[in-house]
Structure 1
Amino acid sequence: MNQEEFRPASNDIPGQQLPYPARQSDMNPAPDSDLSNYKPAGKLTDKVAIITGADSGIGRAVAIAFAMEGADVAIVYNENTDDAKYTQRIVERKGRSCLIIKADVRNSAACQAAVQQTVDQYGKLNILINNAAYQMAQENIEDITEEQFRRTFETNIFGYFFMVKAALPHLHDGDAIVNTGSIVGIVGNPILIDYTASKGAIHAFTKSLAIQLGKRNIRVNCVAPGPVWTPNIPGTMPEDEVKNFGHEVALARPGQPEELAPAYVLLASSEGSFITGSIVEVTGGKLG
């Protein structure tokens, strides 16, 4: 029997700010990442995935979905150990192994080490999910420091590049890379200028890499979420932007992390065997 899903409307989201990096357990309301009504079908049986930024939010939901579909997962996180351990417990309750790796994706050696640790643990790697991200809202471009701009790009695009370089020697025919972009990388956002630019770069990176790796039959795609209720929202945005978050989309509410996970399953599995170079928008109807 299905459980009733928690889908708060935008006017159910109160204004709030949390210190960065925010913890999922401190958010009000708590995001829904548990996939309680998800119907797995063995789409990733005996696959091995490494997922960056999987301690909370979308990454956590993807890790849980992959485990439900039969994959073992390594989750890479940078700061929130408690959140990472929570994700690990949920994955293990689904009957799969979960390796947690503390690493900063801005460091190429750390990315190499994370991939090697995963391969040493599981003997192979089939799926790379690039999901780690950094953002910090600023009202004016003059307020964006060079340090912030560099951190945003080093996390959001250099980190993806480093992880691909580390993972590629272990990926083979039929394997997959899925990047996390953003609808704001398509339509823009005036208080997230550096973040939107980095997400646009991810979209272009995805398409170009898909063309190059097509001859190896390694598929490369990107999920572009709309407004999703994750720790990055109260942890990086002004309180007045958090209040009524997601009000501008057609469904008049923010997405929950678990609503993004099925797109990643599709793109990582053989069900998506003819999908590559795509930017898959999961936005609740955010069109501008």
Structure 2
Amino acid sequence: MTRIAVLTPDPADPSYASQWPGVRDRLAAALALEGLEAVATPWTDHIDAAAGLADYPLILPMIVWGYHRDHRRWLKACATWTAADLPLANPASVLAWNSDKTYLARLAARGVPMPETIWSDGVTAGAVADAFASTGADQLIVKPTVSGGAWRTLRLSPGQALIDAPEGSAMIQPFLPTIETAGETSLLFFGGAFSHAVNKRPVPGDFRIQTQYGGLYTPLAEAPAGALALARQVLAAIDEPLLYARIDMVPDADGRWLLMEAELIEPDTYLDHAPDAGAALARAVRARL
């Protein structure tokens, strides 16, 4: 059985300790369908040296949850893996740039539709007031450009106090009310081919769709045509080869699909909602080998 390395969270980080092992087990079960053994190893064990990963024919960095809270060391690890020319999928170059949401500006410059976004070096009351004035929005979403799982993400109304605001580089966007009614839709791609779609909705009164906040996840029998078109537009705008991708999007009030995230590092691929339980991912991995 071919052994594949799967990078996992820092053992000292308890944030996702109750969640990521289940994701690992689903991934391992899918890979086993193609005779592949998933060997879990923390990414933090391979920051300064790549020797511990050198013997694997493929390395999947698919469960490195929490890297955003240790971004400096994450970038160092990506540089180490790049220098060692390790067989990572997705590539280490992608793991570096996709860890900072400013990549969205580059995709927007290539014609990918996304919500109006103000990029800020720091979130202040003045910056928020200016954003309300320039966008005309009733509410704003403020989040760090290096983030994950709605970490330090705020929904603000005019005049609301900034409490636990993002530090450093941040993005400010008008809040899209459709997140409460239509939710966010995620499309999963393996080896460039569409696999499955999942709709995620927040509990009433919240805007965060993550499971830790009570988000409700529903598999879709098929991807909405407009959502699939946008996802393929996003993938076409990315130059590097991707083994896996999760494209997250929401419709605006007019029904136009807008990109929220292109998750290319450690997306939960929702294999528990995949009709084939991840066989398409396993085949893509086998093909890569």
Q: In which range does the TM-score fall when normalised by the shorter chain?
A: 0.3 to 0.5
Determine which structure has the larger strand proportion and give its number. 2
Determine which structure has the larger helix proportion and give its number. 1
Where relative contact order (Cα < 8 A, 6+ residues apart) is larger, the structure is: 1
Query: Which one has the largest radius of gyration?
Result: 2
Q: What TM-score results when the alignment is normalised by the length of structure 1? A: 0.32
